[in-house]
Amino acid sequence: MSVPPHFLVPIHNVDDGAISPRPVASSPQLPFELVEALNQTYFLHLLVTQPEKVVPPGKSLLSMMTHANYVAAEEDAKNSDKHDYAKANHQAIEKKVKEVAHRAFWNEALEMLSSPLPSVQLSRLKQLYSDIHEALAPHFPPGHRILVSLESPLPPTSSPLHSTMILLKEIVTALRERCAPVRDEAVDNLARSLENLPPTSAESHTELSQFVLDSMKNILQLAEDMRRDLNTFVLGAMSESQLKGVLTRDVKKRERGLVIKIWGGQENVRVAWREWVSQLAEESNGETKWLKRLFLALGNDKPVYSHIPATASDVESSATNGTNTAFLPAENQADTNMQSLEPTISSSSGPPLQRLPPQLLFFSPTLLYIQNHIQAIVIAAALRALTRLPASTTSASDFMQRVWTLLETEIEGDLLDIRHTQRSDPAGESQTKLANLADEVVRVRQLVSGVNIKLEEEGELRTTVERTLRASDPVFLLLRRRLVKTLEDRVVESVKDDADAAPNSKPSIPMRMQTGKDLVGERAGKRIRLNLPGHAETEYSQRINRAKLDGPPVPGFEDPVLQRVIREVLGKIMDTVSWTGSVWGDLV
């Protein structure tokens, strides 16, 4: 006896927020930089959409952003463009030129500070003071004594280097008061090093000059580290809601930019979406059509999956020739993997129904999680029908809770089992899973009848359980079709009103222009203020009427346990719909 293929489809691991691609035959390995970008973006995506998956108890959103070395998308784009190889090559050359220039700068400074003439030393020290002042200015208020000292003319002295050491000690002491606690050890080490001056002589100042320059370099590096800490401090000054708003806006921008870059441009992403939606046979209007196409995939026996094209040229070739792209599935090989399962696809066949478009790449684990729960809900309802329990009894509630616990444990258990390509006894495991469910049905049937059932009847009941859970069983098919159709109708209805009303509405002046300027409430001389998203929802999510998700119990799924799970599934679906619409409104 084995578990039917549809019992539980394989599950993505969404616990840790990373993508680990594994190439298949004839598919090249993804660039390391691309994998890093996907991993970080998916981790940040989970921080916003499913924080309970990645934020440990006692930790905050800010601590996890710091752990992920969070940098805003705009600044990240300025710092590097890993996939633009021409630009990367130019940056590498520029970096080498800067290194040569910096080396020449410090060598010249060493030569001048080693001069026996104090006037020559003072001339170069004045330039170095100016550089240090520029680096330290963001860390001190205007008029601070350190900034004043760096700007003031250098007094004449017979030993400029020793006077400089006194000022450097004062700078380090002042930085100790301004730096983050994490920098205390580095500052203390620097302060101790300044106490150990090298030996000097009247004939040579080289060792002391080198020591002064090294100390200045360390101070400049410390100032740069403190600048990065200051960025984190700005985020730390926000409330959790403000921080989540900032992160949400940034993650959406990251996802859109990364997907467009991977697929080789907006047009390729748009073509992939249209191809995906066109597989829906029935006629439907714009926004509701893609929702119906989504439920066509969720109601499929085969697990939904997303894919990553091997190269942008493959995408363009696929879009032009109508052939399938070579894809890179991912495999759970560690605790930080997001798994992407993909069936073998013939190059001559059309795209499979369970394949998701680029716009849903980062939601593919969530959608597979939803698909698994739909299957589990149907299984629970089918087993409930075999018990002959009255609708509202303590026994019925206890039975459903026990069955759902088994099913949910199975779902979570597959998150671990799926990482192993080989199992010691997969058939035995499948038989145990099915036997556990059959045991619950037999137990409740005996409870209802009040006597122990005969062995022959028990055997027939176990056979019925196995048959009921087969994908071809009429009862299972009926329940799944009914559940998926109800979920689809409620989701479509929640967005249909505004979507249908939009073409018929009269054109009007928008309340907010594209530049962000308000026509209502704007006044002359208005003071500049920090504009944080907070809990403000996007225009697309505001249009969704979540009240229409509620409705009467689905026939066959009236049990309170199932109703609760159905509401949770609907919530996750609507979160996906809202996010997708707000990120890809112009490309869906």
Provide DSSP, 177-243: HHS-GGGHHHHHHHHHHHTSPPP--SS--HHHHHHHHHHHHHHHHHHHHHHHHHHHHHHHTS-HHHH
Cβ neighbours of residue 378 under 8 Å, at least 6 residues apart?
A: 476, 479, 480, 483
**Nearest CA among 377, 517, 557 for reference residue 6:** 377
How far apart CA 229 and CA 29 sit, in angstroms, is 36
- Domain spans in the chain, listed from the N-terminal domain onward: 85-236
Question: Which residues does residue 576 pair with via DSSP β-bridges, in sequence order?
Answer: none
How far apart CA 247 and CA 249 sit, in angstroms, is 5
Task: Map residue 19 onto helix, strand or coil.
Answer: strand
**Nearest CA among 335, 422, 438, 342 for reference residue 383:** 438
DSSP H helical segments within 15-117, as ranges? 32-49, 51-54, 61-67, 73-79, 85-113
Q: Which H or E run contains 556?
A: none
Q: Are 342 and 329 in contact (CB under 8 A)?
A: yes
**Nearest CA among 355, 353, 329, 328 for reference residue 340:** 329
Would you state the pLDDT for residue 191? Answer: 92
Would you state the pLDDT for residue 394? Answer: 62
Q: Are 386 and 20 in contact (CB under 8 A)?
A: no
Would you state the pLDDT for residue 441? Answer: 86
Q: pLDDT tens per residue, the chain (588 residues)? A: 323 333 333 333 333 343 333 333 333 366 777 888 888 899 999 999 998 888 888 777 877 876 776 766 655 555 444 445 455 566 667 777 777 787 888 888 888 888 888 888 898 999 999 999 999 988 888 888 999 999 999 888 888 988 999 999 999 999 888 887 888 899 999 999 998 888 776 566 788 889 999 999 999 999 988 887 776 667 767 778 888 898 999 999 999 999 998 998 999 999 999 999 988 877 666 678 899 999 999 998 889 998 887 654 444 444 444 433 323 233 333 333 333 333 333 333 457 888 999 999 999 999 999 999 999 999 999 998 888 777 666 666 688 899 899 898 888 765 434 333 344 444 545 555 778 888 888 888 888 777 777 888 888 888 888 888 887 888 899 999 999 999 999 998 888 755 554 444 444 334 344 444 443 344 333 333 334 443 434 444 545 666 667 778 889 899 899 999 999 999 999 999 999 999 998 877
Cβ neighbours of residue 202 under 8 Å, at least 6 residues apart?
A: none
- What is the DSSP code (8-state) at residue 478? H
Q: How many CB atoms lie within 10 A of CB 177?
A: 8
- CA distances, 367 to each of 13, 44, 107, 340, 362 (Å): 12, 18, 60, 11, 10
Q: Which amino acid is at 69?
A: N
Cβ neighbours of residue 415 under 8 Å, at least 6 residues apart?
A: 11, 13, 15, 332
Residue carrying structure tokens 């200015």: 137
- CA distances, 103 to each of 93, 212, 380 (Å): 16, 16, 71
Would you state the pLDDT for residue 36? Answer: 85
**DSSP states along 266-318:** HHHHHHHHHHHHTT--S---HHHHHHHHHHHHHTSSSPPB---BS-HHHHHHH
Q: Are 8 and 437 in contact (CB under 8 A)?
A: no
- What is the DSSP code (8-state) at residue 451? S
Crossing angle of the two packed helices 266-277 and 240-262, in degrees rounded to 10: 90
**DSSP states along 105-158:** HHHHHHHHHTSS-HHHHHHHHHHHHHHHHHHHGGGS-TT-HHHHHHHSPPPP-S
Q: How many CB atoms lie within 10 A of CB 267?
A: 14
Cβ neighbours of residue 504 under 8 Å, at least 6 residues apart?
A: none
Crossing angle of the two packed helices 474-504 and 560-584, in degrees rounded to 10: 40
How far apart CA 253 and CA 579 sit, in angstroms, is 12
Cβ neighbours of residue 253 under 8 Å, at least 6 residues apart?
A: 73
How far apart CA 123 and CA 20 sit, in angstroms, is 56
Would you state the pLDDT for residue 233? Answer: 67
How far apart CA 544 and CA 491 sit, in angstroms, is 9
Give the CA-trace dihedral at 312, 317, 319, 322, to 10 degrees.
-150
Two structure tokens written together for 461 = 């009941």
Query: Max alpha carbon distance in the chain (Å)?
Result: 110
Q: Are 540 and 337 in contact (CB under 8 A)?
A: no
**Nearest CA among 65, 81, 83 for reference residue 250:** 65
The model's pTM is: 0.65
How far apart CA 12 and CA 414 sit, in angstroms, is 9
Q: Which own/partner contact pairs does 195-201 have at CB distance under 8 Å and 24+ positions apart? A: 197/165
Would you state the pLDDT for residue 17? Answer: 40
